[in-house]
Amino acid sequence: MSKDNIINMKKINKYYDDFHVLKNIDFHVKKGEIVVVCGPSGSGKSTLIRCINGLEDIDAGEIIVDDINIHASKKNMQSIRGEVGMVFQHFNLFPHLTILENITIAQDLVKNVKKDEANKIAMELLKKVKLSEKANSYPSDLSGGQKQRVAIARSLAMKPKVILFDEPTSALDPETIGDVLSVMKDLAKENFTIVCVTHEMGFAKEVGDRIVFMDHGVIVEENSPKAFFENPQSKRAQNFLKEILTH
């Protein structure tokens, strides 16, 4: 395993009862790399990235993130949560807290950041995602795209070494997707390590360093965006691209 890798997954197997959702997965990500994971529904994409920060247990294999074997102990699992940010499909904001409070609460509870400093960090991040004016609003006042940008800011507030995106635009109205993708493109320029599960092939082509294509719980192929889109090696990937690019 390369010392440049911040994520190393080796021989990962995962079951949901009798369903074998991940089958002997070997997956790695270098520091500063942007990896886009794509594939049909039910291929194991979301489960793969949820295993990286311990949201899903594994049945066999080894996951090392930033030299920490995350399943070796509960302490390791807790420490990795502070280093791996996660942006979900459905935002998961606290409805009773303001936008500012949604971003500062984890800083306070997990990292013991003082209130003034946490507020300062939150306001800087809201500016980054172009939502400074919404600091004192509540999630119910925001559109889906705005909520997702807040969720990104909340993740960044923890100063993660890796950011995982689990289909961050799939629950959004078409007119709000562009704003979220724009923020993600900005992050890509800042040398964050990003793993993104998405069906946004334009984003994958423009921003990804590597495309990983999954089907039926296995990695079928992986390549640079140019090679993947222009000359997919497997019949399954060819059919997937034909289907998704014609809709």
pLDDT tens profile 94-142:
999 999 999 999 887 777 889 999 999 999 999 999 999 999 999 999 9
What is the rounded distance in angstroms from the CA atom of residue 9 to the CA atom of residue 234? 23
Domains and CATH numbers, the chain: 5-245 (3.40.50.300)
DSSP letter for each residue of 14-66: EEETTEEEEEEEEEEEETT-EEEEE-STTSSHHHHHHHHTTSS--SEEEEEET
Which of the pair, 71 or 48, is modelled with greater confidence? 48
With cut-offs at 50, 70 and 90, classify the pLDDT of residue 2.
Answer: low
Q: Is the pLDDT of residue 71 over 60?
A: yes
The predicted model gives 205-218 an average pLDDT of 95
In this predicted model, what pLDDT tens digit does every residue of 139-197 receive, in sequence order? 999 999 999 999 999 999 988 999 999 999 988 988 889 999 999 999 988 989 999 99
Residue 233: band (very low, low, confident or very high) from pLDDT cuts 50, 70, 90: very high
Q: Is the model's pLDDT at 210 over the cut of 90?
A: yes
Q: What is the mean pLDDT of the chain?
A: 91
Region 18-26 average pLDDT: 96
pLDDT at site 113: 85
The pTM for the full model equals 0.92
CB atoms within 10 A of CB 219: 20
Which pLDDT score is estimated for 245? 75
d(CA 148, CA 198): 14
H-assigned helices in 43-173:
45-52, 74-81, 99-111, 115-128, 144-157
Average of per-residue pLDDT across 83-90: 90
How much is the pLDDT for 116? 92
